[in-house]
Amino acid sequence: MASEGAVIWAERAQAELGAARRFRVLADGLEAVGVQAQLVGLAACAVRDEEEHAFLCAKMARALGHETGFAKPEGLSSAATPSWAERHNARERVLLDVIAMCCITESFNASLLHTLYSRTEAGAARTLLHRILKDEVRHAQLGWALLAAQSQDGGCDYVADHLEEMLDISVRDAVFLPAATEDAGESRSIGVLPRAQRRAHFCATLDEIIVPGFAHFGIDTTSMTAWRDHKLALHLQEAEAPED
Ligand SMILES: [Fe+2]
Ligand SMILES: [Fe+2]
């Protein structure tokens, strides 16, 4: 059976393939609603980046012993159609898709990869983390740049109505599961975050990067912090519940 590290890289490979597909749709959507060509170009570039990431992550997973290099991440409801797909304004729909992908998913990715890069020992995993990180930072910036343009161009208050749902769609519940402290030795050489550190890392990224990012544009972020508190309380209750 493949090690946890191999499975994590295989899940990354699969997620990268999904990201390539999403950016293809986003690039077409941005072009259709007449967003500036530079931003459309960034989305088109991201498709190629993500395809390359998928290939490289799968290669790493196989090197660590995973049979195919690809594994479906569990616990994500990515197949669900978001409520904003019902909005009448096509530009708002596309903007919300880009925000969910770039400001939320890619910002979390970039933060995680940055942390992993800074903690991983020199070697193949660290080189790959750096290779992917510089692209993911650009992908996150696409979202924030689009939000900046939109905030000058008619406002984006409506974004607040969907932030909680974006977190629901993007963040796996597993992040909140309590985990015992474990030996981080292997994690440091193969580029994965020890389970026991995942929740704190997620909350720090939310509080220090994502929430202030939206607040900067005057968007109400109360629902995001309430969502985080709710998840933390829920999993704390589960951890404390006596076992039958
Ligand atoms: Fe990627
Ligand atoms: Fe990306």
Name the pLDDT band for 91 (thresholds 50, 70, 90): very high
Taking the CA atoms of the chain, what radius of gyration do you get in angstroms?
18
What is the rounded distance in angstroms from the CA atom of residue 31 to the CA atom of residue 23? 12
Mean pLDDT confidence for 143-161: 92
Give residue 112's Cα distance to chain centre: 9
Instruction: Report every protein residue that has its C-beta within 5 angstroms of ion ligand 2.
Output: 136, 139
- Spacing, Cα 194 to ligand 2 middle (Å): 22
- Spacing, Cα 4 to ligand 1 middle (Å): 20
Instruction: Report every protein residue that has its C-beta within 5 angstroms of ion ligand 1.
Output: 16, 50, 53
Question: pLDDT tens for residues 94-110?
Answer: 999 999 999 999 999 99
Q: Which two tokens stand for residue 17?
A: 């393939």
80/31: higher pLDDT: 31
What is the rounded distance in angstroms from the CA atom of residue 39 to the CA atom of residue 50? 17
Give residue 125's Cα distance to chain centre: 19
Which ligand is the nearest neighbour of the Cα of 46?
A: 2
> Interhelix angle for 195-205 vs 107-119, to 10°?
130
Find all residues with CB under 8 Å of 228, minimum gap 6, and list them: 167, 203, 206, 207
* Predicted local confidence at residue 153, as pLDDT: 83
- Spacing, Cα 55 to ligand 2 middle (Å): 13
Mean pLDDT confidence for 139-148: 96
Which ligand is the nearest neighbour of the Cα of 138?
A: 2
Q: Is the pLDDT of residue 243 over 60?
A: no
- Spacing, Cα 234 to ligand 1 middle (Å): 31
- Spacing, Cα 165 to ligand 1 middle (Å): 22
Which ligand is the nearest neighbour of the Cα of 16?
A: 1
* Predicted local confidence at residue 1, as pLDDT: 72
DSSP 88-140: S-HHHHHHHHHIIIIIIIIHHHHHHHHHHHHHSPSSHHHHHHHHHHHHHHHHH
What is the rounded distance in angstroms from the CA atom of residue 193 to the CA atom of residue 172? 15
Class at the top of the CATH hierarchy for domain 4-240: mainly alpha
- Spacing, Cα 46 to ligand 2 middle (Å): 7
- Spacing, Cα 190 to ligand 1 middle (Å): 17
* Predicted local confidence at residue 103, as pLDDT: 98
242/197: higher pLDDT: 197
- Spacing, Cα 236 to ligand 2 middle (Å): 31
pTM here?
Answer: 0.91
Tell me which residue of 113, 96, 95, 151 sits closest to 16, measured CA to CA. Answer: 113
Question: pLDDT tens for residues 155-174?
Answer: 889 999 999 999 999 998 88
- Residue in the structure block whose two tokens are 């790959």: 128
Ordered by start, the domain boundaries in the chain are: 4-240
Question: pLDDT tens for residues 22-54?
Answer: 999 999 999 999 999 999 999 999 999 999 999
Question: pLDDT tens for residues 107-136?
Answer: 999 999 999 999 999 999 999 999 999 999
Question: pLDDT tens for residues 215-239?
Answer: 999 999 999 999 999 999 987 777 6
